[in-house]
Structure 1
């Protein structure tokens, strides 16, 4: 019941109005067109085919042969050597006993199919986490560009005011130089922020396949764990990568049995039908009534008992045992990684939550500080440098707040992904039915036709070559929580009513 409630909650919070591009839209596009996911699906379909391949070794086989021979040179008195001979034959071979090799090969293949299906879930979850990060990176960098652009405009106003005050002798050349330096630094920071925004938008294009439009703020993440221990408990049961590693480990147990079967006898039943025609050339001209056609039917039991194979079976068994040991250790390593990943994601999420609280307090305090410094400057109690420092401190706290919000959301989603609860079925993605890898497996697992091939491969994920290069243009209004009500216009800094210092 708790798992179902979690799925409904995640799907519900990702639903949003269709007026703007939402996180749910971006995830749906990536789920449909991301080449990492579509390639993973193709890989899984290839893995599915290992089951009918393994089963084919235990199924009857039918083969036919045919030949025509023309004897160009014969002895002069030969009546039994024909000039020509045509032969056809058909044989049926039925494996009866293979020492368990076929049975265990099928079981190993089926287990690896289950591992592949879990691995595909892990690929989807990893891609979704990358999309969430790219989506929030764009939002963060757009806000940072807007904040830096606002800061440049304010510093341009400050510089103009400082130059005016210098003209009337109210400020020194040093004050003007400080304003010029701070404005140059702000412009450089704006250039860096714009470059980061372009990079984030291009990364979004790479993952989603389309340029980011007007992105809506992401919805809150539900059902985050109360402690790292509870998160780890869920992750150990539901993390898809861990499940895949455990299935791969289980498959190697059957591989060892397959290798052991190479030392056991094999038994099969063979049935054959052969037809021979001498095309009227046997004993031609001898006057003897010799039959020109013949047929034969055979049935037999084939038994093969290996006695000595040069040490090959023992080497194969040792090899399979070593690979099983490797798979066991890999499963343990995967478990450790999931535990560390889950705990780290939880710690980053909690830390970002605390940074958000501190940054919100810092933004409020720096806003009040800037307002006070500007007011005190207007009566001659503060210098231009004090104003510049206050402006920079406010900008820094605002950037820290924006980054912390991004970090908290991405870490929270990564935490859900580590717990196995950030997959397509959890997110309620639109755009058609969800891809079910079991459908292909069910369709091919029992196929016996040699001619039931699949459709010719064709591209699924679209190219992004025609997507225009991204720019740093920001049309989104700045979040009111990040804006400031402080009057930063020129009259505050002209010093019109300020005594000379």
Structure 2
């Protein structure tokens, strides 16, 4: 009997999935194809990582960060500019030489200049070069964190959709049995073997099961759309889930004796990188006492003429090079206050790391407790399915032989349907709680 039940569970799942989501044929996915050819859990997760808007946004943020870094580091290179200027003097200035007042300058002047500056040292470019690698790590960690959340949410939604689809199958099989029971009860009533209460009970139970089936089917429609939204799938497209109970059961167990390693968790990695960047901010504030130095040079072409048409006939070139050193002496205590501010911010990040460790401990403990509890429930419910099937088969046979009342059959039928639904719900919960444990351990990496 148990072997028959196991075979039935593994075989009917593929049938119920065909009923759960309408199947359509797709061309093989290539390039920018936005549809799924198959829909195993791995396929759905892979699709989500490629099409989920939040993942693409985080990847774009990473690319933006890279461009910002390149822009900051570009300040180390020579900065070359071309300047052009034309000026028309309306009233020329005058100057006095002794008793003589002389008008100076010309009506038309123009300047063409090529200038270059080279940073030798300043704290801005030094900060950019020191923190570039850590900023890249931070951007990468943000992408990883987004992907982890997507994987967890999509996996949970996938299992939830399967559980709902399985409930539909259970209700459909229950309705088949109830219709046969109603037919038998009505026949017994017509032959005078039983009164009309038996077939009326059968009718009530059948109506309740049909109502339950309708409710579950409507919930399935929502869960289908919810999964599509999670993975970034077109709302007007459909796909067929592919899975089996045996594979789900094989993925249940995890090592519950593992110890939490903070450094392995993505949230801890992100905050630790923030701490490293904040330490760089402290050093940056301390560098405010250092001088800045740069070199500069320019080549100028000057044009002077009262006649605009002849302005550019003759040029008067000049050029120069030089160096500049700026040494900050006094800023009213601003630099000292800034250093203290950044050090306090660093202490705040340290406190945040301590709080995060406590949070991770609590999260892992809860996730592990839920997993153990759900695993026990799953084992019990799996045994209950076998027992409920045996009880129903015996009572139904006894009823047909006139030994049992139909009330016993209805109770056995309800117990069987409830046991099978509870079993699939328990399977969904244990797999979902397993994802929470792996997330808490920091063992989901993409």
TM superposition score normalised by structure 1: 0.70
2:126 pairs with 1:103: yes
Alignment partner of 1:92 out of 112, 116, 119: 116
Does 2:154 correspond to 1:131? yes
Match of 2:297? 271
Aligned pairs (5 A) from 1:176-195: 176-195=199-218
Aligned match of 1:366? 388
Instruction: Please identify which structure carries the higher helix content.
Output: 2
For each residue in 1:99-157, what CA deviation from the matched residue of structure 2 results, as whole angstroms up to 9, or x when unmatched?
Answer: x4432343334212212212322222221222222222222221110101122232233
Give 1:216's match in structure 2, choosing from 235, 238, 243: 243
Deviations 1:465-486 (A, max 9, x none): xxxxxxxxxxxxxxxxxxxxxx
- 2:256 match: 227
Shift of 1:363: 0.9
Tell me how far 1:97 sits from its aligned partner: 2.8
Deviation of 1:33 after TM superposition, in Å, equals: 2.1
Larger relative contact order (Cα-Cα within 8 Å, sequence gap ≥ 6): 1
Question: For the Cα contact (< 8 Å) 1:50–1:109, is it kept in 2?
Answer: no
Following the alignment from structure 1 to structure 2, what is the Cα–Cα distance between the partners of residues 341 and 173? 57
State the partner residue of 1:390. 412
> 1:256 Cα shift?
1.7
Name the CA distance, whole Å, in 2 between partners of 1:252 and 1:67: 44
> In 1, distance between residues paired with 2:202 and 2:186?
9
Say whether residues 1:338 and 2:360 are aligned partners.
yes
Q: Which runs of 5+ in 1 are unaligned?
A: 1-17, 285-290, 425-501
Which residue of structure 1 aligns with residue 3 of structure 2?
none
Deviation of 1:362 after TM superposition, in Å, equals 0.7
1:303 to 311, 314, 325: 325
Q: Offset at 1:296?
A: 2.4
Deviations 1:13-42 (A, max 9, x none): xxxxx9964222222222322222222111
**How many angstroms apart in 2 are the aligned matches of 1:75 and 1:387?**
115
Question: Partners in 2 of 1:197 and 1:406 — Cα distance?
Answer: 15
Partner of 2:29: none
Aligned length: 396
The question of whether the paired residues in 2 share the 8 Å contact of 1:352 and 1:404 is answered with yes
Q: CA RMSD for the aligned pairs?
A: 3.1
SS at match of 1:216: coil
For residue 26 of structure 1, what is the aligned residue in structure 2?
Answer: 44
User: 2:251, 2:431 within 8 Å by CA — same for their partners in 1?
Assistant: no
- Alpha-carbon distance, 1:246 to partner: 1.1
Bigger drift between 115-124 and 376-385 goes to 376-385
Per the normalisation by structure 2, the TM-score is 0.78
The answer to whether the 8 Å contact 1:133/1:410 transfers is yes
Q: Residue in 2 aligned with 1:251? A: 277
Contact 1:280 1:292 in 2 (8 A): no
**1:255 Cα shift?**
1.2
Write the distance in 1 (CA, Å) between the matches of 2:248 and 2:211: 33
Shift in Å, 1:65 = 1.5
**1:310 to 1:45, Cα distance in 2 relative to 1, 3 A:** same
Paired residue secondary structure (1:96)? strand
Q: Partners in 2 of 1:335 and 1:213 — Cα distance? A: 41
1:138-177 equivalences in 2 (<5 Å) = 138-177=161-200
Partner of 1:466: none
- Shift of residue 175 of structure 1? 3.8
C-alpha distance in 2, partners of 1:320/1:224? 47
- Cα shift at 1:80: 2.9
CA distance in 2, matches of 1:49, 1:213: 41
Give, in angstroms, the shift of residue 183 of structure 1.
Answer: 2.2
**C-alpha displacement of 1:341:** 3.5
1:224–1:416 CA contact under 8 A, matched in 2? no
Distance 2:131 2:93 in 1: 60
Which residue in 2 is equivalent to 1:51? Answer: 69
Q: Which moved more, 1:323-332 or 1:309-318?
A: 309-318
Aligned match of 2:437: 415
CA distance in 2, matches of 1:310, 1:385: 91
Tell whether the 8 Å contact from 1:148 to 1:190 is kept in structure 2 after alignment.
Answer: yes
Give the distance between the partners of 1:298 and 1:223, measured in 2 at CA: 76
Deviation for aligned residue 1:365: 1.1
Q: In structure 2, what is the equivalent of residue 197 of structure 1?
A: 220
Match of 2:53 in 1: 35
1:81 matched to which residue of 2?
A: 105
Structure 2 counterparts to residues 343-354 of structure 1, below 5 A: 343-354=365-376
Tell me: CA distance 1:50–1:320, structure 2 relative to 1, closer, same or farther (3 Å).
Answer: farther
Aligned to 2:87: 69
Q: Structure 1, residues 269-293: CA drift from partner, whole Å, max 9, x if none?
A: 22222221103659x9xxxxxx964
Query: 2 CA distance for matches of 1:335 and 1:40?
Result: 25
Residues 184, 198 of structure 1: alpha-carbon distance in 2 compared, 3 angstrom cutoff: same
CA 1:24–1:121 in 2, change beyond 3 Å: closer, same or farther?
same
> Is 1:261–2:287 an aligned residue pair?
yes
